[in-house]
Structure 1
């Protein structure tokens, strides 16, 4: 998903992993308002704030935010 895309949806899963062995990546699986699911990389502070069932959205060119 490109950074220019705008979307809105509900968190259905939280995960984190060290894919490259040195950096910890935090991801959300978001069910978009249109019904499809999307994996989204998010900053640590946002990842810690969100729980499954929370709404999250992203404006074009901006970082995702909790709604």
Structure 2
């Protein structure tokens, strides 16, 4: 989804890894309210705050945040 879209979703999993060999990426798998699932990249602070089962909301033009 692009950054202009707004959405609501539930975190189903957390992961992190060195995908390019030098930068640590933090990702969460989310299930949108319409049932689709997707992995999205999140900030370190948000990654530390959330756990599977937590709800995220994203408003158009903003970063995702814990609901």
Name the TM tier (shorter chain): over 0.9
Aligned residues: 67
Following superposition, the deviation at residue 33 of structure 1 comes to 0.5
Partner residue, 1:54: 54
Distance of 2:37 and 2:20 partners within structure 1: 24
1:27 alignment partner in structure 2: 27
- Runs of at least 5 residues in structure 1 that lack an aligned partner in the other structure: none
TM-score by length of 1: 0.95
The aligned residue for residue 7 of structure 2 is 7
1:3 positional shift: 1.2
| TM superposition outliers: structure 1 runs of 4+ over 6 Å | none
Pairwise CA RMSD of aligned residues? Answer: 0.7
Structure 2: state its 5+ residue gaps.
none
